Structure 1
Amino acid sequence: MTNVAKNVVEPAFIVLAFTAGCLLNRRRGGQSLPQETLDDDLESGAHYTDASPPLKPTVIHSESPVRKAPNLFFRLLSRFFNAYPFLVEIWYWNMTYWIYQGLRAMSARMIAGNKAVFLGARDHALQILSFEKFFGLDIEQRFQEYIMKEQAWLMPILAKVYYSHISVGVCFLVYIYTFLPTSTFQRIRRTIAADNVIAFFIVTLWRCSPPRLLPQEYGYIDILHSKAGGGNAWNNNRFQLTIAAMPSLHFGTALFFAVSLCRFSPHRPLRILAPLWPTAMLITIVATANHFLTDAAIGAMIPFLGWRINQIVLILKPVQDWIFAPLLNRLDLVNPTARSVPKTL
């Protein structure tokens, strides 16, 4: 598959996955508002069964007087958002994802050409390597060499695993929105956003090169940017922050997906298969020399911390209210006698 095909296939897959999420969660019967707020109802005592949909509104009958109806545009837009509430989740995903990627890109451009920063990142990588040697954990170079010599057929597959990180994350978001209770979905979503915040602080304060960028004498080979790896424009560009190996969010997030599915998924086959994803990702990041085992270990700790402090994402709630509340309240003006309110309000 050519690089051009890859640059088209991944974005197209993401669009299709989001479209599927909208269709799977289409609201029929009209009066439900799109999606829950960022309020944490997991700790508020609310109880939901695995069978209940994530966004099931509570209908409240009101005797409010009829107010002036909004213009046609807002009425149609409100009905559209009510019919396809997952559209709001696409907005959330884009907001949190692109804020994170934008900050990484800004950081990459700020340090571009700064030899001192890159030398410091290399020194940090060598410190990790020395730490692992002390405990006998420095298996990364030998493992990569084994894969390349004895299992060469596997390397292109591992590169695809690495680059499918975002696509799998989108599918995960669609799944948990569709099948998990609102409280669980909200906390998982906020945890992912909190993980990005934590990881960004670490990669900014303690920049670290991946093994593949170490000097040649250390024996690591840059698979991801080779012909076998076939990197694409989404991962190989001047805005890519290359010295951000610590922590490995590729592994940490993959592990968090698996733990979430094993703990909350109502589908047993998925609970059984879920651990395969972080296993494949761990093999991938080591075999491609993109992370040390220590990077993966720290990356695995990030979601556990993010799960505990996920409420920091609630600072975005005013942004949500400013953008969506005026639109969603328009529905009240159309039919004030049957007003639907998200169950988290």
Structure 2
Amino acid sequence: MGDGPLDDIPQGGWKAAHGWAMPEPVEPILVVLILLLAMYFTRRKDYAILGPKARFEPVADEESPRSSNEFDAADHRTNPHPPKVRSLLWVRFETPNSSIFARHVHSRVLQKFPFLVEMFYWGISFAVYRATKDLAAAYYGGQESMWDNARLHGLMILESEALLWGGGREAPRRWLEWRIQRWFLHRSEAGDVGAWLLTILNRGYALVHVPGTVFFVAYFYATTKSHSRFCTIRRTLTWTNLLAMCCFVILPTMPPRLLPKHYDFVDTVSLEDAESVWMAGDFVNKLAAFPSMHFGWSFCVGCVFVADSGVLDGLSSCIRRYVLRLDDDDYAAPRKTQPQPRTESAVKLFIGIAYPTFVLTAIIATANHYFLDAFAAILVAAIAFASNRFLLVFLPLEDWLLWALRLEKPIPTTGRKRSVVIK
């Protein structure tokens, strides 16, 4: 691409070279189908909702213990449902133990399908997201002021990035996002195999984000080795989301596709009529570009797959042995585990790298995000992972909510808890 005038626009403007006709309900139907399948495959087997209601025996849980002292048999003889002891900062206090309601029908439904709890957690996250647009408008004194500031924030990001790789060109050629999208637009007009690239990215941007993350949560819940590990990843995703939503309120940012037309970005997703049902409507915050949760979630998912591939274990061993020159006696030997098949390891490593790479390409090529949005998402995800246990401060609220609903939290079917027998 040269530095001459912008004379590369086809006569009649950019048009969708290809398009996949897809009814609007497809995405929500896909999400519901994933959730229903997850409920079925993670159900507690050999447990009847309307079966015998035997005496309830509390079972230890890594994340939310059901009593103040679950392993004190004498305490359970005097009070089978002792209050839970929680702490907040330096204050310790008691909360009610909802295990007394374990025989209720709605508690037994949750016990049969414990994945319903995960759906509830994500429902809360969506409700908070829905409020970010109204909170941002209130923070900036109205919709018009919010949109004006969001446009300025978007242009500030472009110009900040141009200082790194603009090459002294005039706008919009000094913006890397513009140059990348232009390449894909020209390929779309070429009429060869490359013409499908942009269509794939358009559909990927619209359809992969929510269904892909929901599928990952369901997959990880069903396959991870321990419930505590699942809770760490779930808290990280949730905390990443909540931290990003604070940015959406304080720093609303207009994506490139919504910038005024003279900046020459193209809304390729709309061009192909490939919008998701969650990309329009009153419940969508169109100014939630910084940081990019499309990339933030995909980055988290990618990190989990890379970690599960075992590559990092081998890399750590090589660093200790060949870089730090440590002998086996200089560090604790790793715990013996069943070796992972090489094919499985390779597949996980490929997914861990390819998935966030695809999402990064999609958010840039479709003019929905800036590179700085993706970098900020990595930073937010790292902070969320390091501080994910902060969300445990909400456990007392969960205790009171369960008590108010006369509902007992189910024993999860993740990891070794899958084999717990409950009557």
In structure 2, runs of 5+ residues without a counterpart are 1-19, 48-55, 82-98, 167-174, 188-193, 310-339, 412-419
State the alpha-carbon separation in 2 of the partners of residues 308 and 64 from structure 1: 40
Indicate the larger mover: 184-193 or 131-140: 131-140
Distance change in 2, residues 1:263/1:223 (3 Å): same
Residues 323 and 72 (structure 1), Cα distance of their counterparts in 2 relative to 1, 3 Å cut: closer
Shift of 1:229: 4.3
Classify the secondary structure of the residue corresponding to 1:208: coil
Task: Give the CA deviation at 1:256.
Answer: 0.8
Return closer, same or farther for 1:302/1:34 CA change in 2, 3 Å cut-off. farther
Aligned pairs for 1:10-49 (under 5 A) are 10-30=27-47, 36=61, 38-39=63-64
1:66 and 1:174 mapped to 2: Cα distance? 33
Corresponding residue for 2:369? 291
Greater relative CO (CA pairs within 8 A, separation 6+): 1
Q: Which residue of 2 aligns with 1:47?
A: none
TM alignment of 1:1-345, pairs within 5 A: 2=21, 5-6=23-24, 8-30=25-47, 36=61, 38-39=63-64, 63=77, 75-96=104-125, 98-107=126-135, 110=138, 114-136=143-165, 138-150=175-187, 151-163=194-206, 164-180=208-224, 181-226=226-271, 228-264=272-308, 267-268=344-345, 269-324=347-402, 326-328=406-408
3-state SS of the aligned residue for 2:246? helix
1:194 positional shift: 0.9
Distance 1:135 1:247 in 2: 19
The CA deviation string for residues 42-90 of structure 1, in whole angstroms up to 9 with x for no partner, is xxxxxxxxxxxxxxx99x89656999xx999954333322222112112
**In 2 relative to 1, CA 189–71 (structure 1 residues): closer, same or farther, beyond 3 Å?**
closer
Cα deviation 1:77-116 (Å, max 9, x = unaligned): 33322222112112122122x2232222434765797333
Return the alpha-carbon distance in structure 1 between the equivalents of residues 410 and 293 of structure 2: 40
Does the Cα contact within 8 Å between 1:109 and 1:239 map onto a contact in 2?
no
Native 8 Å contact 1:159 1:230 kept in 2: yes
Q: Using the TM superposition, name which of 131-140 and 247-256 deviates more.
A: 131-140
Asked if 2 retains the 8 angstrom alpha-carbon contact of 1:194 and 1:313, the reply is yes
Residue identity in the other structure for 1:167: P
Q: Shift of residue 156 of structure 1?
A: 2.2
**Counterpart position of 2:317:** none
Structure 1 pair 112–237 and aligned structure 2 pair: CA distance change class (3 A): farther
Q: Distance in 2 between matches of 1:11 and 1:158?
A: 19
CA distance in 2, matches of 1:117, 1:327: 42
- Confirm or deny: 8 A CA contact 1:191 1:310 kept in the other structure: yes
Does the 8 Å contact 2:136/2:146 carry over to 1?
A: no
- Residues 317 and 290 (structure 1 numbering): CA distance in 2 closer, same or farther, change over 3 Å? same
Distance 1:170 1:33, change over 3 A: farther
The Cα shift of 1:35 comes to: 10
Contact 1:33 1:341 in 2 (8 A): no
After superposing the two structures, state which structure 1 stretch, 283-292 or 29-38, moved more.
29-38
For the structure 1 residues 11 and 321, does the alpha-carbon distance in structure 2 shift closer, same or farther, using more than 3 Å as the test?
same
Distance of aligned partners of 1:76 and 1:156 in 2 relative to their CA distance in 1, 3 Å threshold:
same
Structure 1 unpaired stretches of 5+:
41-56, 332-339
Secondary structure of the corresponding residue to residue 252 of structure 1:
helix
Deviation, 1:140, is: 0.9
Residues 187 and 136 of structure 1: is their aligned pair in 2 closer, same or farther, counting only changes over 3 Å? same
Query: Displacement of 1:254 after TM fit?
Result: 0.5
- SS, match of residue 175 in structure 1: helix
Cα deviation code 1:134-173 (max 9, x no counterpart):
1116311111111111133222221221122010111111
Percent identity of equivalent pairs: 27
- Listed one character per residue, the Cα deviations across residues 17-61 of structure 1 (whole Å, up to 9, x for unaligned) are 111212211223448989957459xxxxxxxxxxxxxxxx99x89
**Which entry has the higher C-alpha Rg, 1 or 2?**
2
Distance 1:247 1:21 in 2: 29
CA contact (8 A) 2:136 2:250 kept: no
Contact 1:156–1:229 (Cα < 8 Å) also in 2? no
Pair 1:195–1:329, CA change in 2 (3 A): closer
Q: Indicate how the Cα distance of structure 1 residues 250 and 155 shifts in structure 2: closer, same or farther if over 3 A, else same.
A: same
Q: 1:221 to 1:113 in 2, by over 3 A?
A: farther
Corresponding residue pairs, total: 312
Answer yes or no: is the 8 Å Cα contact 1:35–1:88 preserved in 2. Answer: no
